[in-house]
Homo-oligomer: A and B are copies of this chain.
Amino acid sequence: MPPAKSLAQQLAAKQREISVAEFFERNRQILGFDNPLRALLTTVKEAVDNCLDACEEAQVLPDIKVEISKEGVDRLRVAVEDNGPGVLKREIPNVFGRLLYGSRFHANRQSRGQQGIGISAAVLYAGLTTARPAKVTSKVAEEEAAHVVELLIDTQKNLPRVVSEDLVLWDRPSGTRIELVLKAKYQRGRQSPFDYLKGTAIVNPHARFTLVEPDGTRVTYERASTEVPPVPKEVAPHPYGLELGELAYRLKATNQPTILELLQKELAGVSPRAAREILDRAGLPGKTKPAEVHGEPLEKLLAAMHEVPLVAPTSECLSPIGPMLIKRGLRNVLGEVRPEFYAPPVSRPPKVRGGFPFLVEVGLVYGGALPADQPIQLLRFANRVPLLFQQGACAVTNAVQNLDWRRYGLDQKGGQGLPSGPCLLLVHVASTKIPFTSEAKEAIAEDPEIDKEITLALQAAARHLRTHISRRTRRDLAGEKFAIILKILPKLAEKTSSLVHKPVPDLTPVITRIMDVVNVETTVAPVGDTIRAGTDVTNYTPRARVLEVFVEMPPELLPKAQHRPAPEGTDTELGRAWWTLEKLPPSGKVSIEVTFPKGTEVEASDLSWYIAGVDEAHLLGAEPLPGDWDVRLPRAVIEAAEAGLEPLPGTEEAEVDYDAAEGSARVEDDEG
């Protein structure tokens, strides 16, 4: 055993710097490369995230191609290509061959990639497992030809090593393609590139994705929207997010001559008045040179910044998906599942967490072919990127598990844990700074403020679900009752009539009295060269009604629709059309038809029917008009119109009729 004397020196002799590339090479599980399946997914994800970010910056509708092919027993070739702005030749080696190098880390705005690690990590992993260089092809608009650069990473130095360079012609204005050969394994299903692209398509409905699988299968996700989301604005940091060390650094590094100017020009949310109030509280003259503030005055300055009310951080730096596109994205990808219910998506207002704005969005889909006896499907997203691993370690999962879903109509053992039911839940967290649990960006770390927002959004969506489920239950019960009445009453009437040797009476008034509903029946079916979405509205209430019928569909469908009768009005922006049924007498029925050309992608769940003029308790098969919609006819007009309508003759005497017939039939109104 060496004496302690030499030991400190021995230890000192061993001390050395560790390159960040060496570190990650050794700890590749942190970056998401710990096994061949996950390595493939991470590679595809990092490459596609870069493509989407680049296209967004260039305001181009992304057209992204992912090709995966076999390359020996345990190797795959992965190529990912975009139509973005391209990368300048001189930047290619650093962007793809150096960890912690990038353009988005210091920009205070939402983007998928931020750390300057992702794609270089894939290059590192490929080199490590196959010793094959990455091949990057990139063309910028201003040059004629594309550059092809082959490179490896020198892990000891964390620097790119260019193996070859070339020029090629490429038949697109601009774009980037990266090709890697790596130890990897392809498999469809959970946590696969297939799954990842599906999720990505949901939250990026403006992008088009093509996946070519190793067996040659080609999967395409077409875009469901042609709007490029606006580039989130880069904003100055907000004082609420500053900590002492960071403030001290800013004071040293600034070019502003005075502390007053620094406050106003380099920080967000500080008005001239607020700036002066901050300095007053801190006891600092406005002309103080920033570099001179340290020690106690520095602490006072920060405290004052946190005390004085400031304008909240703006959310221009965020890029939410928005309720409409969440719904459209879900529909686009969930077509084959034909869910019975899409809850109105919830998009919470932006909040601030340590000076960094964030917001939460939730989509919820229920029923259809979603499995009823399994845990719900939870789709987690951060800055429009699906999170496929580490579900158990994620703040989103935690928030879902801590909500008592039994109150909202789902099964959940003990009111804790993932609920069960035919339900799919989409949760999107957007922020300029997502607190991921590791560099692989697979789970969001616990944070009380993010947790609160997720919970509020979940509750809002869950309330819609509860309303839907209770309505459906009510409708199902009423529907059953209706079916029974329509089946039994005529037989009873027939039998009774034949016993007393009287003619069978008209049953409509009786049915009307028993049911007391406006019944709406909707069908969507191909008819000849068209797809016909028809709605029959029957007034099974004992008095005449003035009703308004509304239909809502995805706005792009409306121009293709033929209506009969012609609607009273349409709103092309919101995808709505409406009709007024002036006088619908008891037992009266009106049909409204909406017809689409053959081949139109439309199905029952695309059309939502709403009825105004009858309260929810007397409405079957459609929803009452949502509270925030305009009722075209004011309530007073409807009431006045209805007041002028006499009850249908016979509806008052329906029961008397039967009594007169001496029938013994006694129909219970109560179903039990």
Contacts and interface: CB of A to CB of B under 8 A. Distances in A.
A436 B94 CA distance: 28
B435 A438 contact: no
A294 B131 CA distance: 9
A60 B2 CA distance: 12
A193 to B, nearest CB: 19
Contact of A4 (B173, B443, B447): B173
A534 to B, nearest CB: 45
A129 interface: yes
A106 interface: yes
Residue among A156, A249, A413, A445 with the most chain B CB within 10 A?
A: A445
Interface stretch (A5-13, A257-265, A545-553): A5-13
A437 B31 CA distance: 9
A131 B8 contact: no
Contacts of A12: 87-88, 90-91, 103
Interface string A1-27: 101110111011011111110110111
Nearest to A246: B128
Contact of A156 (B101, B173, B183, B249): B249
Nearest to A176: B8
A243 interface: yes
Interface in A492-550: none
A101 B18 contact: yes
Contact of A447 (B34, B101, B245): B34
Interface in A213-254: 243-246, 248-249
A371 to B, nearest CB: 18
Given A4-B173, A173-B4, A23 B105 contact: yes
B245 A129 contact: yes
Given A4-B141, A128-B244, A393 B437 contact: yes
A130 to B, nearest CB: 6
A489 interface: no
A29 interface: yes
A75 to B, nearest CB: 10
A595 interface: no
A16 B101 contact: yes
A604 to B, nearest CB: 37
A435 B27 contact: yes
B14 A103 contact: yes
Contacts of A11: 54, 57, 85, 87, 91, 103
A14 B390 contact: no
Given A101-B15, A129-B243, A392-B393, A4 B85 contact: yes
A412 to B, nearest CB: 14
A141 B8 contact: yes
Contacts of A413: 413
A174 interface: yes
A50 B450 CA distance: 34
Nearest to A129: B243
B142 A85 contact: no
A246 to B, nearest CB: 6
Given A8-B87, A18-B105, A439-B30, A23 B115 contact: yes
A319 interface: no
A335 to B, nearest CB: 33
Interface in A52-78: 54, 57-60
Nearest to A413: B413
Nearest to A299: B131
Given A102-B18, A436-B27, A437-B438, A446 B249 contact: no
B248 A393 contact: no
Contacts of A485: none
A140 interface: yes
A100 interface: yes
Interface in A426-461: 433, 435-439, 443, 445-447
Contact of A245 (B27, B102, B127, B439): B127
A7 B17 CA distance: 37
Interface string A81-115: 00001111011001100101111111100000001
A139 to B, nearest CB: 9
A43 interface: no
Given A106-B16, A435-B27, A437-B437, A155 B101 contact: no
Contacts of A130: 244-245
A250 to B, nearest CB: 11
Interface string A308-347: 0000000000000000000000000000000000000000
Given A16-B103, A34-B447, A58 B4 contact: yes
A116 interface: yes
A358 B433 CA distance: 37
Nearest to A244: B131
Contacts of A246: 25, 128
Interface in A123-170: 127-131, 140-142, 155-156
Nearest to A53: B11
A622 interface: no
A232 B35 CA distance: 28
A353 to B, nearest CB: 11
A400 interface: no
Contacts of A105: 18, 22-23, 26
A104 B107 CA distance: 35
Interface in A603-632: none
A410 interface: no
Given A17-B100, A34-B435, A437-B438, 20 more contacts: A4-B85, A8-B86, A8-B87, A8-B142, A9-B88, A9-B140, A11-B57, A11-B85, A11-B103, A15-B101, A16-B103, A23-B105, A25-B245, A26-B105, A29-B445, A34-B446, A127-B245, A131-B294, A183-B243, A393-B437
5 contacts: A4-B60, A11-B91, A16-B102, A18-B101, A131-B298
